[in-house]
Amino acid sequence: MSVSNYYKQLDKPMSNRLARFAATREASPEVSIDIAQLQSRIAELEKAEITQLVDPQLLDRSPYQPRKHFDPIKMAQLTASVDAWGVLENVIVRLVVAGRYELVAGERRQLAAIAAKRQVPIKVMDLSDRDARRIALAENLNRVNLNPIEETWAILNLLAVDLEIDSTDEVKSVLYSLANVAKGVKSRENVSPKFNDQQTIVERILSEYGIKLLSFVKTKLPLIKLPDNVSDAIAAGLDHTKALAIAKVSDTAARDDLLRAAIEGGMPLTEIKKQIKSLQPQIEPQLPSPQLRVKNTITRVVAAKVWEHPDKWLEVQSLLERLEALCGEK
């Protein structure tokens, strides 16, 4: 498999890759291990003596890996180093089927080895599907500067593991319900024992990564539904708050022009919002109907008790006389 084809695989839907992976493994009881212990063991194995070298193309990407984008400059530097010296630290894997492995930690080293046509040193760990998923997500959240979209997906998938929920859509529903509770909105669903357990799990995981629930729901969840070119801009380094503002422009051509200007010109958020406001159609203020205008005026006159103010009452009396004349009542 070429490196370019490998990168293309990174963009395939998570569900498809999970389904293919599940088909290669036999069902087995999953006993979860403490995540800190897993990370400590991985760190030890990476530094351990190199004893086994394999073709890097025998290593399959973890279906739980949230990262889809790698800095091309850093990858080029790593590839040059691997080309000159080889891979100096073990890549951590687990056995999937005979002769093939799944990456647990060290994907950048594997990609560099493919590009440099070098073998990779591996250490094999015995991990359940659940722990493999947890460690892939936790390792990336702790070690790598994920872009905001990748980070959001990683958090959703990590929550799915600990909440024992299959779908990230269900996780989002839980998060929206918890956000409503935080805002003081109550319902029968969010006072059940199950909901309380979910709340405890979500609060624990979010706090581990310094994330506030309401902020995550408001500013991070919308990122996973952005137009493709806006998502690509975030991956390339555009601040996600700017991207969210630009994504609100409904006209595709105008949105693309503004996105290009924001990227090329380093436009600040205040200027982006100003440009967005200028794109909005100018709507002429609608005057109330004649009937409503008369009714509102009478209400205001009564509320102001103008008869208690001699100067105003004289003027109002004059206006009333003119109105009565116009109505033919005099």
293-330 pLDDT tens trace: 888 888 888 888 888 888 888 888 888 888 888 887 54
Checking if the pLDDT of 21 tops 50, the result is no
| Residue (of 265, 223, 261, 217) closest to 241 by Cα position | 223
59 contacts 122 by C-beta, under 8 angstroms: yes
Q: What's the domain count of the chain?
A: 3
Query: Does residue 276 sit within a domain?
Result: no
Looking at the structure, tell me whether residues 22 and 55 fall in a common domain. Answer: yes
Report the distance separating Cα 137 and Cα 23, nearest Å.
21
Tokens of 100: 């093939």
Q: Which of 102, 128, 143 is the last residue of a domain?
A: 143
Checking if the pLDDT of 80 tops 90, the result is yes
Query: Does residue 26 sit within a domain?
Result: yes
Tokens of 143: 């070690």
Q: Which of 225, 240, 269 is the last residue of a domain?
A: 225
Q: Which has the higher per-residue pLDDT, 146 or 329?
A: 146
Looking at the structure, tell me whether residues 174 and 306 fall in a common domain. Answer: no
Q: How far is CA 246 from CA 151, 233, 254, 263, in A?
A: 20, 11, 10, 11
Query: Does residue 270 sit within a domain?
Result: no
Looking at the structure, tell me whether residues 59 and 130 fall in a common domain. Answer: yes
Query: Does residue 56 sit within a domain?
Result: yes
149 contacts 229 by C-beta, under 8 angstroms: no
Q: Quick one: average pLDDT of 146-163?
A: 86
Give pLDDT tens digits for 108-128.
899 999 999 999 998 898 888
Query: Does residue 273 sit within a domain?
Result: no
Query: Does residue 263 sit within a domain?
Result: no
Query: Does residue 185 sit within a domain?
Result: yes
Query: Does residue 64 sit within a domain?
Result: yes
Looking at the structure, tell me whether residues 130 and 166 fall in a common domain. Answer: no
Q: Which of 116, 143, 170 is the last residue of a domain?
A: 143
Q: Which of 130-139, 208-217, 302-311 has the lowest mean pLDDT?
A: 130-139
56 contacts 82 by C-beta, under 8 angstroms: no
Amino acid letter, 202: V
Per the structure, the complete domain to which residue 190 belongs is given by 149-225
